[in-house]
Structure 1
Amino acid sequence: MTDQQQVDLRKDEVEAGTTTGLASPSVDVTNERQNSLWSDAWGELKRNPLFWIGAVFGLLFLLMAIVPQLFARGADPRACSLSNSNQKPSAEHWFGFDQQGCDYLANVVYGARNSLIIGLLAVAVVLVLGVVVGAVSGFYGGWVDSLLSRLTDIFYAIPFILGAIVVLRSGILGRGVVAVAIALAAFGWMTAMRLVRSQVIAVKSSDYVAAARAMGASNGRILLRHILPNAVAPVLVYTTITIGVLIAAEATLTFLGVGLQRPAISWGLQIENGQSLLRTAPHLVLFPSIVLTVTVMAFVMMGDALRDALDPRQRA
């Protein structure tokens, strides 16, 4: 057989493999790996009590933010009477009253909405920035990777809370819910970027990625269909935990006077207002602090359980 005949035969084999779908097993293998990973993870999560505890509390606070009327016992957080100022908790009013004579249970319940919105919105921005920048940096490498990595290092050098304080005090974004979420996300996306970058670098050298490239798949298709689905697991763990961290950060900023402002209702504002009355009316600090702590712990427990489920080394 001549050299030309061998080349023609190889061309025919490649065309036959492409038309008959013989090269598609690489895609099937990728999908099977993803399905196996998430099905095994779900099996581990179902057996983890920490996940269910966190999920129940997380769902509870989410419902509290969506339909606060169900939890406020019909009380209006803005219906106040100075005659009830700083009254202690009772059978009729479980959380007592604040300094303005407003029902404190209603205030704590309604405070969940702003706190959760900020946490979820900020983590969504963190996820988008981290995934996009990390994926581009890890996939293309070279000068692109160097430029984006140095940009990330610059943001890493700025303390998280301090950076958010500077942005919010400048008044560029205002002091609303969206402004606080953006200020937190602007200085909190770097870890997600590093996680995605390292995972993309590890995955892009896999055999199924090489097979997809040999089939003529574009860089965008390889990145979206074959690399990111296998690199996103650590980022999901990180973002689940980060929701709780960002909720606590919002309360910290509001407590320091640079976050949400009245007439907004949030746990940080309630803790800030009650600190001066800690000796005479400790319930003003106690109740929002407990709810804030339980909320943060719920997301942290879900994140820890998800991390253990997605890490094969944690399994017996």
Structure 2
Amino acid sequence: MTFDLVGLPALSRFTIDRQEPLRGDDERLQQLWPKSRVIVVDVRGRTLVSDRGTRVVDRPATEFGDQPPHTAVLLGEQDGVAHWAVPLPAEETEEAPAGRAWSYPELTDEPQWLDLRQSGATLDDTSAGLFTTAAALFQWHRIAKFCAKCGAPTTVEKSGWVRICSGCGREEYPRTDAAVICLVHDGADQVLVARGVEWPEGRFSVLAGFVEAGESLEACVAREILEEVGVTVHSVRYLGSQPWPFPRSLMIGFEAIADPTEPLRPAEGEIAEAKWVPRSLLREALKAPGTVPDLYMAGGASIAYRMLQSWAAEGD
């Protein structure tokens, strides 16, 4: 039994025009600047989110000067309004609480500093697209300050979408690492989930891994599942994709079928435990998180959540 995603993954949504030709049009950008809107992203990948996690807080561009700051990145344009993001300096960033990666604070109407894991599932389509793109770009800028070829410093061009080497003139563009993520099921009513060694007790998700050089996506799915839990899969089928800027992945989603009687062999040092879960139990865990002992699923901002939700909905 195959299935399709019930909707776009949370971070795959984007409603405004990215406007690639506009990025190098300094004259047009200067004309648009007075009416532009800007979001601020701190070094921990958080921005201000309000209205119970549904909207990113943007500010008039004029608060940042009479022209775009050199650190600003252009996110897109819509109806004559350009949307930008600027980074908040490290010294102005509040320290994150312990356990931040698994922290989901109560959402309020007042502005809150939240990251994409915490807010991606609740943001409206436009806000989700703007925040995801901004987070991805700033992650890239933080690791691309020097040329990979000659080591000289790089400078920012084209509204934050290109870095030019000051030594050899090499151009570098934002990088994305391809990773597969696969929901393995038995072709009937069981799904395979696993828990990473650094994850809290009871938290499970589907399996994922990075694509290696010279490897197809389908081959990567088969290799990663075999390496991580020791089972062989077949009937690999594409479902959808989602950017995941932690730090710069594109998660490419698949489903595959495996034999639930084949012994599970979690990879030492990588997978703490793996198990088959019936559809009925997964539905309960997704409907009321925390009510099923030892089965707390992936967060709503992830494509893993959308995959599990979609498979669980089959037969409703």
TM-score where L is the length of structure 2: 0.25
Q: Which has the higher contact order (CA 8 A, sep 6+)?
A: 1
Greater strand share, 1 or 2? Answer: 2
Greater helix share, 1 or 2? Answer: 1
Larger radius of gyration: 1
